Chain A
Amino acid sequence: MVLLLTTYPFLWMFFSSFKTNQEIYRTAHIIPEFFDFFAYKLLFSNDLIKFDEVLLRSLFLSGGQAVLACLVTAATGYAIAVGRFRGKRLLFLAAMLLILYPKQALSLFLFEWMVRLGITGSLYGLLFSGVASGLGVVFFAQVFKKIPPELVDLARLEGKSHFGCFLTFLPLVKPALITYGILHFLLSWQEHLLPLLVLKSDELTLPLALAKLSDSSYRIPEAVGLAAGVVALLPMLILFGISFKRIRSALSDWVVS
């Protein structure tokens, strides 16, 4: 019953993206009378919004944030897990504060700060604002705690710097990197408020485009919004589908640490 309630609406969304408004409002029917691709054609025709640019912008933002966040937070997590230095607890506290008071709640202040810096409208400003993640630091700190201290000491005896050791051990935590990368990609993919405030009105990301397509004042056929929903869901389904086994394994390792 719960599985049906969870997944059936998405099947309905997929089939409804080929339907007319009249058919869509009859929710009991799932299969369309005709498979008409007009919604997808309209979406990618760029008549309503430049959807291909929207898609590329979202991919660039989420992908860039995910890759950089993996590197930056894994390095910090490694320092917390392996290092014994003054200020380590303060560093951990900084990460915890990021979890407790996340960027979404800080959007208003971040926007004002970006205005003062003169970087509103900048895609790179938005990208870098989402790289530092408290969740990532805590996650990787727990992951790197599993590396035996003897291994770290051995690498140090070979003359490697701490950064060198980190690079050596990085391939060992590949499943964790993939898992966190995908989770960060997902959270960035879904971000709505900060792009709404920071980006120019014609530079949309997927959540903003979806809100625009759903705005009743534009009188856009419902199928177009549903088609956008399908297109927005596909990359995440593919990413999770390919890596699901690794994600499960990394999460299982993480929860016991």
Chain B
Amino acid sequence: MSGDQSGKGILSFVPLFGPFLLLWFIFWLVPLFTGLELSFTGHVTEMASDGTMVGEYKATWGNYQAALGDSKWVKSLGNTTLFVVGSITSTLTLSFFLASVIFRMHRVSQAICLFLLIVPSLALPGTLAKLFYLFFHGKSGVLNQFLVMPLGFQQVNWMMNPDWILPCLVFQSVWRWTGLITLLLFCGMQAIPRWQFETASLEGANRGMVLQTILFPGVRHLLWFAAIFLLVDGVAAFSGAYNLLGGSGGVLDAGLLFVTYVYQVAFPGGSGRFDLPLASAMSLAVAIATTGIAYFLIWSSSIKGVAK
């Protein structure tokens, strides 16, 4: 292999990774430290000797303490956790099932099914939210007409019922990502050596056994990858909920996601607080937790092998 372990070796690669590192520094590392600095910035007001109030900015843990005491933030974290767990489990289960069904189809049918499934991934999250509101939602919406009422239940007012707001957001996320994850898993299944299926066939294995002993282990690393992708995307989810709930958290904040709340805290028009330091503390606290979980997932999978 090219290169060596000396300083000269790294210099010859600088033209290759230099632009990436520069952009990473300017648009990732420095903003992160900017956020860190902001999160420790507190406005302290004290009474001066002449009786006037004097304000100054001091480094403080106050924003983190305030975040922990903010019940809406805690609620948004709970909602986001449920949203992420719901999205990951539903999307991965459905995608694996669909990929295994499409895998057994004829080549032309495979291409058509995969392309049609991917369409929601190509749409803007705002389009999905609008479609959900106009097509699935409402008294005459498809969910009530074809799912709820035929089973003999009362019509559900999806966005006004706090019990249903979060499942609706999960539904949107599953609808959006299932096609893309199915495509990824399908490609993984295609890469499994043919002799494994032939051996299973000779030994009389049924479809369930093939699924369990060949297909699932064959795409397990991709399921990890997809879980990390959905975890990161779910924690940072904003657009779908913003469009569907108009920037609010919905009834009783049942659909208040973490990023939406941080946005509300940081900028007027939400709750009008314009409290960037508090919003920064909230963001960083969650970033540390998410990074830890994703780091664990990555090191449990095979992605780390690339750097070797």
Contact = CB atoms under 8 A, between A and B. Distances in A.
26 contacts: A2-B117, A10-B123, A26-B140, A72-B23, A76-B16, A83-B1, A85-B6, A85-B9, A89-B307, A93-B307, A94-B24, A100-B298, A101-B287, A103-B27, A105-B232, A108-B279, A112-B31, A112-B276, A186-B121, A207-B239, A211-B243, A214-B126, A233-B124, A237-B122, A252-B190, A254-B187
Interface centre among A86, A93, A100, A153 (most CB of B within 10 A): A100
A162 interface: yes
Contact of B23 (A128, A142, A233): A128
A104 B122 contact: no
B123 A229 contact: yes
Interface string A70-112: 0011011011111111111101111111111111111011101
Interface of B: 1-7, 9-10, 12-13, 15-17, 19-21, 23-24, 26-28, 30-32, 34-35, 38, 94, 98, 111, 113-127, 129-131, 134-136, 138, 140-142, 145, 175, 178-179, 183-184, 187-188, 190-191, 222, 228, 232, 235-236, 238-239, 242-243, 246, 259, 262-263, 266-267, 276, 279-280, 283, 286-287, 290-291, 294-295, 298, 303, 306-307
B116 A6 contact: yes
Contacts of B246: 215-216
B24 A153 contact: no
A161 B1 CA distance: 14
Contacts of A165: 2
B201 to A, nearest CB: 22
- The secondary structure that dominates the A interface is helix
Interface stretch (A34-42, A45-53, A129-137): A129-137
Given A132-B20, A248-B183, A190 B283 contact: no
Nearest to B140: A27
Contacts of B228: 99
A84 B175 CA distance: 43
Which 8 residue pairs of A and B lie closest in terms of their CB atoms, listed nearest first? A109-B35, A92-B307, A192-B239, A229-B127, A104-B236, A132-B23, A236-B122, A210-B126
A86 B17 CA distance: 13
B295 A100 contact: yes
Contacts of B126: 192, 207, 210-211, 214, 229
A208 to B, nearest CB: 9
B1 A9 contact: no
Contacts, number: 289
Contacts of A89: 307
Contacts of B121: 186
A58 B16 CA distance: 28
Given A2-B117, A106-B35, A251-B187, 14 more contacts: A6-B120, A72-B20, A78-B16, A84-B5, A85-B10, A86-B10, A99-B228, A105-B287, A132-B28, A165-B2, A214-B243, A226-B134, A229-B127, A255-B187
A159 to B, nearest CB: 13
A10 B279 CA distance: 37
A137 B20 contact: yes
B242 to A, nearest CB: 7
Contact of B127 (A87, A100, A232, A240): A232
Given A16-B134, A85-B13, A131-B23, A193 B4 contact: no
